[in-house]
Chains A and B, each alone.
Chain A
Amino acid sequence: MTSILSISGVSKTYATGFTALKEVNLDIERGEIFALLGPNGAGKTTLISIVCGIVNRSSGTVTVDGHDISRDYRAARSLIGLVPQELTIDAFESVWATVNYSRGLFGKPANPAFVEKVLRDLSLWDKKDAKAITLSGGMKRRLMIAKALSHEPRVLFLDEPTAGVDVELRQAMWEMVRRLRDDGVTIILTTHYIEEAEAMADRVGVINRGEIILVEGKAELMRKLGRKRLVLELRTPLTALPDSLSRYAPELSPDGGQLTYTYDNQSDRPGVASLIRDLEASDIQFRDLDTQNSSLEEIFVNLLRQEP
């Protein structure tokens, strides 16, 4: 895949002296869904704001499909759609007017059929004449997305798109994001919901204290940093672990009825098959077993804990 967005050595220090970004380098591949994860204040929104032209960077370069965001800002910005975190709409404009305004702002000729399609896709068509102030929170969120899509962007930034959105709408949004990706739109989303990144992202980037600390394919990340857990329900509770199992360092539940063995995918610790063989050799029988993968959330938390 080729890169559609290239961020090189971007730093941002605000007038207050606060450094929000430190020498950030990041390439986003064409047509992917990229999840940018990070705790509050990590620099996610600042980074997006710089790429979109909302905040001036202190140093570094950014290109969108080869267009420099400063020298060739018109071409760069016309490729980008942004759905910000806050619900910021002119409350007194109608849905139809405000979406058409966004399209005009990006220099696109009027196209009522396209705007109608966007509104229908987002279940907003029957609200087209309603003023934004009368819409529910979920509808306002969808209206923000409609505005961002109105000029047919090739790169879409979704800054916390499902914050405060109910489960049903969240699922619908995920579906919409996948459809957009299928249409060739590159999606960059920031989220606090790790399950969102886990469900949707092709690649994951983790930012902390203004620095990108990891960029990895989601599957690769889960494989590399993910942990597996084997839980065995024992037929007869154990009072203590036999020495033959000590090299596995399993955890024995307080009642002695459950044995848990945790291992990571790249570990050189002995494998599950050998554990089971050793259990048989020690005449320890089990009536059930279960394996669990660690979630992206656990990986994320572990990564942040490792940070100095």
Chain B
Amino acid sequence: MNLRAVWAIYRVEMARAFRTVLQSIVSPVISTSLYFVVFGSAIGSRITEIDGISYGAFIVPGLIMLSLLTQSISNASFAIYFPKFVGSIYELLSAPVSYLEIVIAYVGGAATKSIILGLIILGTASLFVPLQIEHPFWMIAFLVLTAVTFSLFGFIIGIWAKSFEQLQLVPLLIVTPLTFLGGSFYSIHMLPGIWKTVTLFNPVVYLISGFRWSFYGKADVSVGVSLGMTIIFLAACIAIVAWIFKTGYRLRN
């Protein structure tokens, strides 16, 4: 295994985050704080509790997931798309690096950044509302699993995209709506009959539900199902990445 190459790529990816600290870290923290002000204070004053949890505390896992998903996708897709765009991908493709090493380095870098961000948001949230984490192991497990899965998804988007517009297409038109409709700010039990069923087709529901369970021990759907859905999505992403590298799709053709 070419660990030096993995480390070289990982270090460059992390350096980029610190070089663009405003965009990478500060901006999402400000956005999250604004969510607290708007949803936590304005709406929270009308919805005092959900499942015995104060509304402000209830939305924390959803907010973290919201940032985790969007940032994992954004970090990983940009990381692989940018060298493609400027042409410096030639160096990566001509280096003695295996596909697995490339994925570990890029996805590892993207996931690390979004996990750090998730923890910063968690810290920021603790300034606004009292938090409890009933299952810290599972909280970290869901955090890491989701970050890795969606970084892989972002990596796929970055390879698929031929333009900056395409790079933004999936996150803006699919992921963000699914995240907002995935129970970040409400419990799916609050939805009217048919919508409760429809929302179960949204994979993000399972991520947020499982993550919220790790905080408060309460979930919209069973934790096992949440975990299973996350792992299925992870496996699907791994399969697609393996196919991309096997065929050289949009990289070596």
Contact = CB atoms under 8 A, between A and B. Distances in A.
Interface of A: 14-15, 49, 52-56, 73-78, 80, 82, 84, 86, 88-93, 97, 100-109, 147
Contacts of B12: 90, 93, 97, 101
A78 B96 contact: yes
A84 B15 CA distance: 25
Nearest to A92: B19
A105 B92 contact: yes
Given A15-B253, A56-B252, A97-B15, A106 B90 contact: no
B95 interface: yes
Contacts of A56: 248, 252-253
A49 B92 CA distance: 12
A84 B90 contact: yes
A79 B226 CA distance: 48
Contacts of B129: none
A73 B248 CA distance: 15
A74 B12 CA distance: 22
B9 interface: yes
Interface size class of B (residues with CB under 8 A): 20 to 34
B5 A89 contact: no
B19 A108 contact: no
Contact of B94 (A14, A53, A75, A92): A53
Contacts of B95: 77, 105-106
A107 B90 contact: no
A86 B84 CA distance: 13
Contacts of A86: 87
Chain B residues touching A, majority SS:
helix
B165 interface: no
30 contacts: A53-B94, A54-B93, A54-B94, A54-B252, A73-B96, A77-B96, A82-B91, A82-B94, A88-B87, A88-B90, A89-B86, A90-B82, A90-B83, A92-B16, A97-B15, A100-B8, A101-B11, A101-B12, A102-B91, A104-B5, A104-B11, A105-B4, A105-B91, A105-B95, A105-B97, A106-B5, A106-B95, A106-B96, A107-B96, A147-B91
A260 to B, nearest CB: 48
Interface of B: 2, 4-5, 7-9, 11-12, 15-16, 19, 82-83, 86-88, 90-98, 248, 252-253
B54 to A, nearest CB: 44
Given A15-B253, A90-B83, A82 B8 contact: no
Interface centre among B2, B94, B97 (most CB of A within 10 A): B94
A107 B91 contact: no
- Sorted nearest first, the 10 A-B pairs with minimum C-beta distance are A104-B8, A88-B87, A74-B96, A52-B94, A77-B96, A105-B95, A107-B2, A88-B88, A54-B93, A78-B96
A97 B14 CA distance: 13
A74 B2 contact: yes
A77 B94 contact: yes
B23 to A, nearest CB: 13
B8 A101 contact: yes
A160 to B, nearest CB: 14
B97 to A, nearest CB: 7
Nearest to A105: B95
A54 B90 contact: yes
Given A78-B96, A90-B12, 9 more contacts: A73-B96, A75-B96, A82-B90, A100-B8, A105-B9, A105-B97, A107-B2, A107-B4, A147-B91
A91 B4 contact: no
A89 B88 contact: yes
Most buried by A among B90, B92, B248: B90
A56 B252 CA distance: 6
B45 to A, nearest CB: 45
Given A15-B253, A55-B252, A77-B94, A105 B87 contact: no
A52 B92 CA distance: 11
Taking each of A76, A103, A107, which has the highest tally of chain B beta carbons within 10 Å of its own beta carbon?
A107
Given A53-B93, A56-B252, A105 B86 contact: no
A100 B7 CA distance: 12
A97 B9 CA distance: 11
